[in-house]
Structures are given as structure tokens and as C-alpha cells.
Amino acid sequence: MTLPTTPASLEVIASNTSLIDVRAPVEFAQGSLPGAVNLPLMVDEERHQVGIAYKQQGQQAAIALGERLVSGEIKQARVAAWQAYLAQHPDAIIYCFRGGLRSQIAQQWLVDAGLHRPRIEGGWKALRQQLCQRIDEAAQQPMLVVAGLTGCAKTKLINQLPNGIDLEACANHKGSAFGRQPDEPTTQIDFEHALAQRLIGQPGKLVLEDESRQIGNANLPLDFWHALQQAPRIRIEMPLDWRLDQLRRDYIEALEQGYAARFGPEEGWQRMQRQLASALERLAKRLGNARLQRLQRMQAMAFRAHAAGDIQAHEAWLAPLLTEYYDPLYRYHLEKQQGNRPTELHIGDWESCLAAAKQWSA
């Protein structure tokens, strides 16, 4: 019996199809397809042993070893996991690395259990090529960049637009030394896949935030990054008090809520403090020892006040961090771009920049 396949098409991603990744956990951790769950045919150690057998003795010996390793109760448990997932997601599609032996074995075992599901032709590799190609194509699309000092709510503006592409959400990182989130930053592969997923269905103009090439653990693909650097921009200008209020909500309140949701209130609170303290420490060389120690004292006082219910106390260290470090750094980069600076289509407050982005998009 011929086992069914489905093309490695971006429609699989665009339709939010549920996917069963039967690769080993170590492969899945390096990068998966959007919407995938890892229900492996072989766990890491089994895959390692089969790989050695393949190199030393050839394919048939490797297959025979795999059949011995994944048999009996182990095989029943793997099939049961697929069955349980398909009971909740009956339209799920199967894939392995190249759409070859592992996904075919999973299909056959499911057929033996009375379930028929297709696999992706060419597997993970073929669909990844499609996703990377979508990013390369996007580098040719018209782009508008939203710029501005730290705390100007650039990401919030991006997310108000149907054609806004939130690069920080793709990276699960807010982009600065203080931008780490409670969940781990994405891998490079998962970042590229998340970016491509957001670009599907966006064939026209794109609005993006002014970012450095590296966001957390991830780097923007080079052609896309060059296009972003050359694109026209709008620049948000907001007063310090407004920016501090925005930073407190984004980098303190939301961060505390995120850590509490994942680790519970007590452990989450401790982890949030450690993250913010280590982020400040990472700026030691740029801040200088005296300024770092002053900000650390202010931060420690803010944590104590926060614990007592005064969350606004964080503005005591956030304000000098902005005015003495981030703002001068941003203006220095603007001055470096003199003569080679991208066109600025509009400079104004947050609302006027949102209106300008909407007008440009239309």
C-alpha cells in the first residue's frame, strides 16, 4: 500500500495545520516547524545508536537495530502517543527530517492501528527551504521602519497594524540587555520559521521596528537585514515621563506577571530580580564602574520598594539609565548615519506616527 503524502507547501503553515514531528528530541530542540509537537519515533540515545550502525554497517543493519530498539512496549507507547494526539487533532500531518524512513514507519504503524495520516514530502528540510525563501522574497517588498528612543512603544505601534511584523515576538526577546523573557529565547531556526510564518499572507508593504541585526539569540537573515537598514522610517518622539511609564509596564510589570505565571509568585519574583540585576551588570563596561554601582544601589532600593507595593520606584534607576546611556547611544548612532541616513518620512508623537504608518501602508 502506498502511504499518502502532502506537498511541502507554505499552505501547511498558513492554515495552522497541526504537525507531528517524529524526529528525535535533540533535533526538535534545534528547530521545528510552526505548529509542531515532538512525538519521536526514536529518542536521542536510540537515534545515536542507529546512526552509528548506519555508518559502520549500512542501512539494513541500522533498520534492523531500530526495529529491535523500538519494539514491544516501547513501540506500543510511541503509537499510543500518536493516537492520543490524533484523537485531539485528527487532521495532523506527520514529518521527519526528509520525509523518508522515520515518517513512513510512523505512518505504517498508524495504518496498522487503523489511522491514516499523510507525511510531508521532503519533510522538515523541504518545508524549511520554503520558509527561508519567503524571508528572501520579503527583502524585496516595500518596508517602513518605526524608529525612536527606548520606551517609545515602537512594538505596540507595530502590533496596531495588520501589516506590522513584530520581530521581537519572533525572537521571544525585547531586543535590549533587559529584553529577555521568562521563556527561553528562540533558536535561530525557530526565529526564522516564526518570521516566515508572519510574512505568509503579507505580499505588500511591511512595517517593522528599528532593530539591530541580533535580537536575543537570533540574527536577522542578511538580505532582510540590509533591506531593513535601507528602508524609509518614521521616528516617534515622546517625553521622558511617558517613556518611563511605558518601560515600567513593559519591562517590570509584564515581566513580573510572566515569571509569576511560569514559576509561581515567589520564585517568579526572585527570578525577575536576578534577571534585571544581571542585565544591568552586563552593561558594566559601557556604564563604567561608578555609574554601574550607583544604578545598582537604586535598583536594589527599587526592588525593596516594589516588594512593599511601590512599583513606580523603578523609575529612579530607569530614568538615569535612559538619559545617561540609552538616549546618548541612540543619538550617537543617528549622528554616525549623517549623510547615509535612510529617509525619515515623519517625526512626531506616538499617535501621529501611527497615523503616518497607516497612511503609508494604504
pLDDT at 338 (0 to 100) = 67
Q: Provide the 3-class DSSP secondary structure of residue 19.
A: strand
- C-alpha–C-alpha distance, residues 292 and 295, integer Å: 5
Q: Where does the chain have alpha helices with state H?
A: 10-14, 25-30, 44-57, 59-69, 72-88, 101-112, 123-138, 154-158, 167-171, 188-199, 222-230, 240-247, 254-263, 265-282, 284-287, 289-307, 315-321, 327-336, 350-361
Are 135 and 196 contacting, i.e. CB atoms less than 8 angstroms apart? yes
Among positive and negative, which fits the CA dihedral 221, 218, 15, 123?
Answer: positive
Considering the domain architecture, whether residues 175 and 85 belong to the same structural domain is answered as no
Are 284 and 292 contacting, i.e. CB atoms less than 8 angstroms apart? yes
3 DSSP 8-state letter: P
Considering the domain architecture, whether residues 111 and 152 belong to the same structural domain is answered as no
Q: What is the CATH number of the domain that holds 353?
A: 3.40.50
Considering the domain architecture, whether residues 119 and 154 belong to the same structural domain is answered as no
Considering the domain architecture, whether residues 210 and 278 belong to the same structural domain is answered as yes
Considering the domain architecture, whether residues 49 and 183 belong to the same structural domain is answered as no
Ranges of residues in the chain with a pLDDT under 50 are none
Enclosing domain of residue 33? 5-130
pLDDT at 17 (0 to 100) = 95
Write the pLDDT tens digit of every residue in 78-102.
Answer: 999 999 999 999 999 999 999 888 9
pLDDT at 236 (0 to 100) = 97
Considering the domain architecture, whether residues 123 and 183 belong to the same structural domain is answered as no
Q: Is 152 a catalytic residue?
A: no
| Residue that is last in its domain, among 109, 130, 151 | 130
pLDDT at 179 (0 to 100) = 73
pLDDT at 339 (0 to 100) = 66
Half-sphere exposure (Cβ direction) of 173: Cα atoms closer than 13 Å: 23
Considering the domain architecture, whether residues 100 and 181 belong to the same structural domain is answered as no
Strand-strand pairing, 214-215 and 218-219 = antiparallel
Q: What is the pTM of this model?
A: 0.91
Q: Which member of 96, 152, 170, 353 is catalytic? A: 96
Sequence-distant (≥ 6) Cβ neighbours of residue 10 within 8 angstroms: 130, 131, 134, 196, 200
Considering the domain architecture, whether residues 170 and 112 belong to the same structural domain is answered as no
Considering the domain architecture, whether residues 61 and 166 belong to the same structural domain is answered as no
Considering the domain architecture, whether residues 146 and 95 belong to the same structural domain is answered as no
Write the pLDDT tens digit of every residue in 6-16.
Answer: 999 999 999 99
Considering the domain architecture, whether residues 241 and 276 belong to the same structural domain is answered as yes
Considering the domain architecture, whether residues 151 and 169 belong to the same structural domain is answered as yes
Q: Which three cell numbers stand for residue 352?
A: 501621529
Residue 194 β-bridge partners: none
Q: Which three cell numbers stand for residue 21?
A: 514531528
DSSP result, 252-290: IIHHHHHHHHHH-HHHHHHHHHHHHHHHHHHTHHHH-HH
| Residue that is last in its domain, among 106, 130, 154 | 130
pLDDT at 63 (0 to 100) = 86
User: Number of structural domains, the chain?
Assistant: 2
**Residue with cell string 526528509:** 98
Q: Provide the 3-class DSSP secondary structure of residue 22.
A: coil
Q: What is the CATH number of the domain that holds 37?
A: 3.40.250.10
| Residue that is last in its domain, among 130, 164, 185 | 130
SS (H, E, C) 170-199: HHCECCCCCCECCCCCCCHHHHHHHHHHHH
